[in-house]
Amino acid sequence: MPRHYSKEPKNKPKIKNWKSTVGRIWRYLSKEKGLLGLVILMVVISSALGLLGPFLVGMAIDDFIVTRDASGLMQLILGLIVVYIVYSTAMWLQAYWMIGIAQNTVFRMRTELFEQLHKLPIPFFDRRQHGELMSRVTNDMENVSSTLNSSVIQIFSSILTLVGTVGVMLWLSPLLTLITMLIIPAMFLGLKWITNRTGKLFKETQKNLGDLNGYIEETVSGQRIVKTFSQEEKVMDDFLVKSDRLKTSAYWASTYSGFIPKLMNMLNNLSFAVIAGVGGILAVQGVITIGVIVIFTEYARQFTRPLNDLANQFNTLLSAVAGAERVFEILDEEKEEKDEGAAVSVEGISGEIEFSHVTFSYDKKTKTVEDISFKAEPGQTIALVGPTGAGKTTITNILSRFYDHDDGTITIDGKNLLDIKRESLRKNMGFVLQDSFLFQGTIRENIRYGRLDASDSEVERAAREANAHSFIMKLPEQYDTILSHDGGGISQGQKQLLSIARAILSDPSLLILDEATSSIDTVTEVKIQEALQRLMEGRTSIVIAHRLNTIQSADQILVLQSGRITERGSHDELLQQKGFYYELYNSQLREIS
């Protein structure tokens, strides 16, 4: 299949609010005012000494070399040595201190960003690729860091050098200064043409890098599915398309920004030739001295160099601002807590749950669940049954306030769910989900995640109740066995047992069990069911299950179809109704037999 690659990226986004983004970066930098003041002082000293050096060289030619004054020349050379030693020291100090300022600033920004990610609602993560979010925490922040390390000093130093150079040049020879200034219009037009393109391209590059990172993270995490369906070629084709977008935008960004030093060198050499020629004529006529010509040629280079540095740093700054803006976009997202109003904390929930005519839609258009009403008394088990997409998981999502329902009322112990703080609510809830997620770390640490202040003996007791202790003791390091990412190294059933142990340790009042025994072998399922029975004892439980034999003892079974409750009752009552539940139960019996 032929692949076609575009020469230029399309739909290049602009930086939305340059002033606001730069202002926010400055607010972070200003927290280091004392050290920043020392950096500025060192920049002023180094810029002044950088101007003084060429001036002393010109003096040496006119006052000592032409007049053959050896003793005076030696004194001036010693002065030059001191000047450049102090100059180098100031340059080193400003770089050293600025690195510290930059790292502290980026540390605060990255910490706020990571903290913000934990305050955002679940719908935010449902809309975003995880790899793209990771790119903002890593690539974009590193882009800001590298720019602050060098560009801030360079820009300030270039401005001071430029102003000082022009001042001294005007004092020495207004005519040669005017000739030097003739390159500015050409330089300005060239830089404007370049920077108009690089700003868009750097933003596009950052966006494409985030997209590519997100796709890589997604495909690596789903590698088992890729191989199961033999989709390696499709994944590679999609990767090449995304990679080509990044390559194209990065290529043009680097190409256009690479024009800047070439343009500046050309204008610099042209300026040097003109000053040398005109200066030579003026020196022959006795208007200026040879030393002034030497000073001017050096200052002419110093005049174009800060312009060159400013142009280069401006492109780097554009890239950093683009990255910072992507970071601030996340920081400006509405936090989950903002919609809480006068919500209160609750403790000691008894577990009475009541849904009254509850309706919810993910996209605010198509209703996912509609007119849901049921009541669970403390300690009861409510089972949710139905085909995929019927709304079973949605009910648990809105009960745990991952999403807030649109209409109707939900109460817990008589309190409106929306009047209870999410953090307080979830501290009273335990979750055992179909896909058990374990963190990289020891088994002990993963179980203790349910309650961080739990002792080792409490962790072991929870593992015993979850039927996990026996398999843990067979592992090389037992409870100190380190699991790789997402519990790699143990089976799915064992991960589920650890999840149950984690829930037992948290000692919740309400339980959410979502497909907790799906994709598990029969022997392990028995162990899980025993552990779940211990966990559910005395607690209000909402259970989602495809295997109907696991919920026969539920106090109430709700059958959902197309977002509505179509049947309700105990296992025996639903079998007598001979409706959807009856057909589903019999079909599963036939599959087993």
Predicted confidence (pLDDT) per residue in 241-283, tens digit:
888 888 888 888 777 777 766 777 777 777 777 777 777 777 6
Give the CATH number of the domain where residue 120 resides: 1.20.1560.10
Instruction: Please write down the HEC assignment for all residues of 289-316.
Output: CHHHHHHHHHHHHHHHHHHHHHHHHHHH
Predicted confidence (pLDDT) per residue in 498-515, tens digit:
888 888 887 888 888 876
Residue 404 falls within a domain, yes or no? yes
Give the CATH number of the domain where residue 583 resides: 3.40.50.300
**How far apart are alpha carbons 586 and 386 in whole angstroms?**
14
What's the pLDDT score for residue 545?
A: 76
Residues 429 and 363 in one domain: yes
Residues 172 and 117 in one domain: yes
Q: How many domains does the chain have?
A: 2
Residues 313 and 402 in one domain: no
- Residue that is written with structure tokens 């005007």 in the block: 170
Residues 321 and 368 in one domain: no
Q: Would you state the torsion angle of the CA atoms of residues 186, 192, 193, 198, taken in this order, to the nearest 10 degrees?
A: 140
The per-residue b/e assignment along 436-451, b for 16 or more CB within 10 angstroms, e otherwise, is bebeeebbbbbbbbbb
pLDDT band at residue 129 under the 50/70/90 scheme: low
Predicted confidence (pLDDT) per residue in 554-577, tens digit:
888 888 888 888 888 888 888 888
Residue 338 falls within a domain, yes or no? no
Of 136-150, 222-236, 366-380, minimum mean pLDDT range: 222-236
Residues 261 and 388 in one domain: no
What's the pLDDT score for residue 488?
A: 62
Check: CB of residue 72 under 8 Å from CB of residue 64.
Answer: yes
> CB-based contacts of 521: which residues, under 8 Å, 6+ apart?
493
Predicted confidence (pLDDT) per residue in 58-74, tens digit:
666 666 666 666 776 77
* Helices marked H in 466-508: 469-473, 492-506
Residue 12 falls within a domain, yes or no? no
Residues 407 and 523 in one domain: yes
Averaged over 458-462, what is the pLDDT? 84
Residues 393 and 248 in one domain: no
Query: Of the residues 282, 305, 333, which one is the last residue of a structural domain?
Result: 333
pLDDT band at residue 375 under the 50/70/90 scheme: confident
Best-predicted range by mean pLDDT among 25-39, 311-325, 326-340?
A: 25-39
Q: Looking at per-residue confidence, does 546 or 572 come out higher?
A: 572
Range of the domain at 117: 18-333
What's the pLDDT score for residue 13?
A: 39
Residue type, 360: F
Check: CB of residue 73 under 8 Å from CB of residue 93.
Answer: no
Query: Edge-to-edge strands of the sheet including 407-412?
Result: 369-376, 353-360, 407-412, 415-416
Residue 477 reports pLDDT greater than 60: yes
Predicted confidence (pLDDT) per residue in 16-41, tens digit:
566 777 777 778 777 777 888 888 88
What's the pLDDT score for residue 249?
A: 80
What's the pLDDT score for residue 384?
A: 87
What's the pLDDT score for residue 226?
A: 67
pLDDT band at residue 529 under the 50/70/90 scheme: confident
Residue 340 falls within a domain, yes or no? no
> Taking CA 129 as the corner, what is the angle to CA 124 and CA 132, rounded to the nearest 5 degrees?
110
Residue 280 falls within a domain, yes or no? yes
pLDDT over 90, % of the chain = 0
Q: Enter the tokens of residue 28.
A: 């972070």
Average pLDDT, the chain: 75
Residue 448 falls within a domain, yes or no? yes
pLDDT band at residue 339 under the 50/70/90 scheme: very low
Residue 467 reports pLDDT greater than 60: yes
What's the pLDDT score for residue 460?
A: 84
Residues 237 and 129 in one domain: yes
What's the pLDDT score for residue 228?
A: 56
Query: Of the residues 281, 304, 333, which one is the last residue of a structural domain?
Result: 333
pTM of the model: 0.60
Residues 329 and 372 in one domain: no
What's the pLDDT score for residue 9?
A: 36
What's the pLDDT score for residue 166?
A: 77
Neighbours of 384 (CB within 10 A): 26
Q: Looking at per-residue confidence, does 188 or 394 come out higher?
A: 394
Averaged over 573-583, what is the pLDDT? 83
Q: At what angle do helices 492-506 and 522-536 cross, to 10 degrees?
A: 10
Residues 261 and 220 in one domain: yes
Residue 346 falls within a domain, yes or no? no
pLDDT band at residue 222 under the 50/70/90 scheme: low
Query: Of the residues 283, 298, 333, which one is the last residue of a structural domain?
Result: 333
Residue 176, SS3 per DSSP:
helix
* Helices marked H in 222-289: 223-228, 232-284
Residue 339 falls within a domain, yes or no? no
What's the pLDDT score for residue 143?
A: 74
Residues 231 and 265 in one domain: yes
Residue 549 reports pLDDT greater than 50: yes
What's the pLDDT score for residue 8?
A: 36
Measured distance between the N- and C-terminal CA atoms of the chain, rounded to whole angstroms: 48
Residues 228 and 324 in one domain: yes
